[in-house]
Structure 1
Amino acid sequence: MTYVVELVEHAPPVSVPLPDALGRAIAGLGIVDAVPDACDPGRWSLRAGSKVGAVAVTVPGHGETYTLRIVPKMPVARLFFLLGHSLDPAGSWRDGEVDVAEDEDLMPAFAHAVERQIDRALRQGPLQGYRVTEESSPLVRGRIREAEQIRRRFGATLPVEVRYDEFTVDIAENRILRAAVERLLRLPGVPREVRRRLLRQRSRLADVATLVLGRPLPEWRPSRLNARYHHALGLAHIVLENASPEHGPGGLRIDGFLFDMNKLFEDFVTVALREALRGTGHVARFQDLHHLDHARVVRLRPDLVLYTPDGRPCAVADAKYKAEKPRGYPEADLYQMLAYCTALGLRDGHLVYAKGSAEHTAHRVRHAGIVLHQHAVDLDQAAEGLLADVKRLANRMLSLA
């Protein structure tokens, strides 16, 4: 039997009946904030944070599956704009390739988008390339691995330990696409028609080896030869990097996919700022490593640091989807930005929030001469308005720099 629990991102908690083992598993995995309902034993209070998507948890021995659907506050089309701009600021992959207007829910829309991109990538057939192969062979092919031949064969001439370059479809790019297809087929909320199309894509990649769970994804390099794969691989990485663990405590089986809205907003803001600053002669770098102390022990990684043409830092920005207010430190974001400005020797720092999380204001730090600016980007507007807001922010950063 399947139970569906629907939550809304950052909405008030909802009390639902859950087995204790399942409630503890959800709390331990950090999918949502989960605590036992003190007033009603057998019920748990669930509150969604910044992660949106769907997760199905199956209780072993009971045949019961609980699906948590976490709905984003913004429209799905707006979320896809943020995602698309982060992956490809030119917007070429969105024009006519991913139509999410018919999908109001996140999972159907996302599965549809990934399938469309994989179909586009494979339209001319799977990409082929050279892959280094090491094996025991009855024939000499490529180079003989002499050390392995001696160690394994003790002087025998056959079989031969060889190493050669094989021209095949079983390359990193196709392995990543197949892994994404396999993952989507296991996720809850994927429509039947999209599943049928995904099965067709899997059959196209039948000669490609499946990836081993838990191992790092194979590396690939963008090039002219694999240009038609770039957008599909970008979405495939999102599928695989945001997938939930498949096994939880007590033998619970977990299948799901969750977007982290914090990461999505951060990626959009930093990429949009970089594009807005393009052509000014300045260089924008993401997650650049700096240190707070002379001993270089305390690491700092601002979301974006802007450098002058001669390589000096002139501005710093951090994107925050929600204001961080841990108990006892209600202004943690400001303290963090103050540390960035101090370490970089800057007089202005910029915190960028989604509107509604923090107001647009500036704080002048006593005895330091540093001004901490809080900017608000309104996500409840069309794409043109969003990019215009970021452009104004970029101009503000340049004027202060």
Structure 2
Amino acid sequence: MALKEGDGWTSWDLTQPQLETLAAHPRLVALHPESATRWRLKPKDHIGSVRLGSGEGTVQLSITPKVPVDRLLHLVAYAPDRVEFDPRPVTAEPRPDLLPALAHAFVSAADRALQQGVLHDYRETHDTLPVVRGRIRHADQIRRRPGVPVPLEVVYDDHTPDIPENRLLLAAIRRLLRVPGLDPAPRTTLQRLTARLEGVHALPAGARPPQWTPGRRNARYAHALVLAELVLRGASYELGDGRHIAVDGMLVVMWRLFEAYLARAVGEALRHRAGGRPAPQDRSHFLDTAGRHPLKPDLVHYLPSPHDGVQRPAAVVDAKFKTKPRREDLYQMTAYCVRLGLGEGHLVYASGSEGVVEVPVGEGRLRIFRHVVDLARPWRELAADVEALAEVVDGARTVRAA
């Protein structure tokens, strides 16, 4: 069953079990009866492909996005937590543009992560040795070799690259190398990265990806690790009957994905340009003094104050996955600017026209910029547009008196 994002009603013949399956997932499609066996369907705000139900009620539902696949994966790579993955395979026609965006993004991030060397950490290792290393495990020594001086049961801290972060990178690299049709350039880089990870054990077949905890120690790995998790969780491509590729089901709410992508991509670009700290989906500010009405901007960028060094809001950005600006968008951004003490705010739309609205506030004025990041553009141009947007946001900074 193939639908298209944004399309109107289309008619389908459904069995009663299939109808019950679709009715159990009302967030995906709207249903309207035409006859006892024929129903009209209209997609809601999800896109993707997923297999629903079981037995006679099985429905393979595909909602094709307006955004081409490479652009969609470019967005997903910045916001994998906005995607719901279904482990049951669905089928999709093999397409050469299915994985390039994700593969290129991962290769670039992994290469940057390993430029300063492979991350090592201390791991407690239990071993049997002819000499003392670390500490003797006396209880094990007595239980296993009572009265025998050697070999010794010891425990020691080993400084090793065989840690969860590197295992995760290696697993993603090996998975991408198995993808048919991968471009030669990323394939060559992946092979080179495999050699860099010498001493890291590959995950056994079917093993769950290792867990890692973000921190200062692995900060330079963070982006690559997020993409590696996405590769392992959502890119299980296997050749089927020679004409299809089995893929994991994947559902995306486009407006949520657009908001998360803009917040993280622009935040990262601002951090590279100006330093400071980007805070995507910042929920630390309130409209009222009692703290009952939280503000929900998609991005607040903090910079240290020149007076006391304390990091304070320096820019606010809010994404809108819609074609036409609405007055309530201006009201919302005005509240953000006034409460955060900023002289300008930035609304980012997925299409439409750009402009500036000046809002009188007290004796001064706020400038509310309308920007457009057009998802119809090729993903490399889309990435360049985000960099240009960050440059504009950084250059427009002013601060209102608190």
Scaled by the length of structure 1, the TM-score of the pair is 0.59
Deviations 1:255-279 (CA, angstroms, capped at 9, x unpaired): 3345623322332333334445x3x
SS class of match (1:319): strand
Matched, 1:270 2:263: no
Does structure 2 conserve the Cα–Cα contact (< 8 Å) formed by 1:341 and 1:348? yes
Q: Please, which of 341, 357, 366 is the counterpart of residue 345 of structure 1? A: 341
Partner Cα distance (1:48, 1:184) in 2:
32
Task: Structure 2: give runs of 5+ residues left out of the alignment.
Answer: 80-93, 146-151, 237-246
Q: Which residue of 1 aligns with 2:202?
A: 208
Partner Cα distance (1:157, 1:75) in 2:
60
Would the alpha carbon gap of residues 184 and 35 (structure 1) be closer, same or farther in structure 2, given more than 3 Å must change? Answer: farther
Partner Cα distance (2:161, 2:311) in 1:
46
SS class of match (2:165): helix
Matched, 1:61 2:55: yes
AA aligned to 1:349 is: G
Larger Rg: 2
Partner Cα distance (1:343, 1:399) in 2:
12
Matched, 1:36 2:28: no
How far 1:138 moved relative to its partner?
Answer: 9.5
Q: Which residue of 1 aligns with 2:319?
A: 320
Matched, 1:108 2:99: yes
Would the alpha carbon gap of residues 172 and 242 (structure 1) be closer, same or farther in structure 2, given more than 3 Å must change? Answer: same
Would the alpha carbon gap of residues 111 and 376 (structure 1) be closer, same or farther in structure 2, given more than 3 Å must change? Answer: closer
Would the alpha carbon gap of residues 353 and 208 (structure 1) be closer, same or farther in structure 2, given more than 3 Å must change? Answer: same
SS class of match (1:364): strand
Deviations 1:303-334 (CA, angstroms, capped at 9, x unpaired): 12343433474643223141499xxxx75544
Deviations 1:50-72 (CA, angstroms, capped at 9, x unpaired): x65x4341643359672525334
Does structure 2 conserve the Cα–Cα contact (< 8 Å) formed by 1:179 and 1:240? yes
Matched, 1:396 2:396: yes
Does structure 1 conserve the Cα–Cα contact (< 8 Å) formed by 2:136 and 2:153? yes
How far 1:398 moved relative to its partner?
Answer: 4.2
Task: Structure 1: give runs of 5+ residues left out of the alignment.
Answer: 88-102, 245-253
How far 1:375 moved relative to its partner?
Answer: 1.1
Q: Which residue of 2 aligns with 1:233?
A: 225
Deviations 1:1-22 (CA, angstroms, capped at 9, x unpaired): xx6x2534x4546555562354
Identity fraction in percent:
25
Scaled by the length of structure 2, the TM-score of the pair is 0.59
Would the alpha carbon gap of residues 304 and 235 (structure 1) be closer, same or farther in structure 2, given more than 3 Å must change? Answer: same
Would the alpha carbon gap of residues 63 and 373 (structure 1) be closer, same or farther in structure 2, given more than 3 Å must change? Answer: same
AA aligned to 1:165 is: D
Q: Which residue of 1 aligns with 2:285?
A: 291
Does structure 2 conserve the Cα–Cα contact (< 8 Å) formed by 1:169 and 1:207? no
How far 1:240 moved relative to its partner?
Answer: 5.8
Trace 1:47-196 onto structure 2 (pairs within 5 A).
47=43, 49=45, 54-57=48-51, 59-62=53-56, 66=60, 68=62, 70-73=64-67, 76=70, 80=74, 107-110=98-101, 112-113=103-104, 129-133=120-124, 142-143=134-135, 157-158=143-144, 163-166=155-158, 170-177=162-169, 180=172, 192-193=180-181
